[in-house]
Each structure stands twice: as C-alpha cells, then as structure tokens.
C-alpha cells in the first residue's frame, strides 16, 4: 500500500507540469503557457512499494475554453534507465528526498498496474489519503488483456501503446466529459477505465481515461 505523505514538494507538481505540458503534442492551451489547477485523479499501488503511481487530472484555463488533461505520473527515488525522454522533472520531497517524476505512459510499472486495474486485479486508490479505495473510478474488461506493449506514442489526442495483433492501450490525455455522465465505449473497446474530475465552475464531469481495444483509434 502506498503511503501518502502530507509534506512539501519543491517545485510542486503543478509547477513541473506548467513547464512540461506545452512540449506535448496533445497540449492545446494558450500561447502564454498553461494556467493549471488540480482537478482530480487517483493512485495505484506498486506491488514492490518502490514507485509512486498517480493519475492526475489538471485543468488549463489559459485558452478560450478550459481544457482538462489526464497526466499519469510515476515518482522514483532514482532515475529510470532509458527514460530520459519521459522525464517531467525532479522534485525535493520533504520526507523522501529527491524524486524523479516521469510521464507514466513510458514507465513499465505504471503500464503494468494500469492493465491490472482494467482487468480488475487491483483497485484504484484515493489520490490524497492512504489505504482508501477510490470507488468513483470504474473499469471493465472482456477477457484477458494483451501483453507485450510497445513504446508509448503521443498524438494530438492522447497516448497509444500498441500491442500484438492490432491491439492497443489508448490513454485519453484531452478529457471529454460524457454528455449524460455515462461514458460511451467505442465499438472496438475490450476494456476501459473511467473517472470524474472537477470543472472550473464547481461541477463534476465524467469521462473515459483509458481504452483497451483493437482497430482504429477511439
């Protein structure tokens, strides 16, 4: 079980993301840089207890309309070999010391636990409190998930991890609220993760976070 430490981070996660998000192809914010607020998310546990895993939702209000992004992050006590391209930045943690924050789509620990969540083998955890399940996060899976995912590929709407035989795990980086609060799965979907986040006006939105499937992009 991951332990949530209520302590300082320098720089903060939002400060790191303010610098990093504009470099992503799925970022659609204003020219002056993002104006970010934390809007939601959840955590997963690393079975080895070494890597922090967080799925953070941030909302950017720098453009004409607010845009919410899903940012999966991993936090490590040492650099991840071969993942220099996925480094979001480093932070000083008041309890754990230096932490390396990575785009979690490029971290095998996060990918493995996300697949385990889709399959129902693990449960999403509250973002801010230790040992509290996040029952707002839902998932489904029709049969075993594929294995052997290739390196993550970013595009204008999200990140795709290809798998053998045409399968893929697709993360929706730009979040789209479901009109009736019940996210509709694309026809090719064989599994999914969905959750909620806060909008700037104080209301809650719900949508797809990740889709496991085959065929064309969702």
Residue 218's pLDDT is 40
Residue pair 197/39 in contact by the 8 Å Cβ criterion: yes
Half-sphere exposure of 93 (CA within 13 A, CB side): 18
4 belongs to a structural domain: no
Residue 72 host element (H or E):
strand 67-76
- For residue 2, is it within any domain? no
pLDDT tens column, 144-193: 899 999 999 999 989 999 999 889 999 999 999 998 877 889 998 999 99
Q: Is residue 3 part of a domain?
A: no
% of the chain at pLDDT higher than 70: 94
Q: Flag whether 142 is in a domain.
A: yes
Q: Based on the structure, what is the number of domains in the chain? A: 1
Give the residue numbers spanning the domain of 161. Answer: 9-214
Over the stretch 63-90, which tens digit does the pLDDT of each residue have? 889 999 999 999 999 999 999 999 999 9
Instruction: Tell me the C-alpha distance between 193 and 137, whole Å.
Output: 7
pLDDT value of position 81: 96
pLDDT in tens, 20-31: 999 999 999 877
Strand order in the sheet with 36-44: 9-10, 87-93, 97-103, 67-76, 52-60, 36-44
């Amino acid at each position: 079980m991951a332990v949530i430490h209520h302590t300082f981070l320098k720089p903060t996660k939002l400060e790191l993301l303010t610098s990093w998000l504009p470099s992503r192809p799925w970022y659609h914010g204003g020219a002056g840089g993002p104006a970010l607020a934390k809007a939601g998310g959840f955590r997963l546990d690393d079975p080895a207890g070494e890597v922090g895993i967080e799925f953070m939702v941030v909302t950017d209000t720098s453009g004409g309309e607010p845009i919410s992004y899903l940012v999966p992050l991993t936090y490590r006590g040492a650099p991840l070999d071969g993942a220099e391209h996925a480094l979001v930045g480093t932070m000083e943690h008041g309890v754990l010391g230096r932490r390396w924050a990575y785009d979690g789509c490029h971290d095998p620990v996060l990918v493995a636990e996300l697949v385990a969540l889709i399959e129902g083998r693990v449960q999403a955890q509250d973002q801010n409190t230790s040992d509290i399940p996040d029952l707002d996060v839902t998932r489904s899976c029709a049969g075993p998930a594929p294995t052997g995912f290739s390196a993550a590929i970013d595009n204008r709407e999200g990140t795709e991890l290809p798998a053998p035989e045409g399968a893929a795990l697709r993360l929706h980086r730009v979040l789209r609220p479901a009109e009736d609060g019940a996210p509709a799965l694309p026809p090719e979907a064989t599994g999914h993760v969905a959750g909620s986040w806060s909008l700037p006006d104080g209301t809650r939105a719900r949508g797809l976070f990740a889709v496991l499937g085959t065929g064309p992009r969702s």
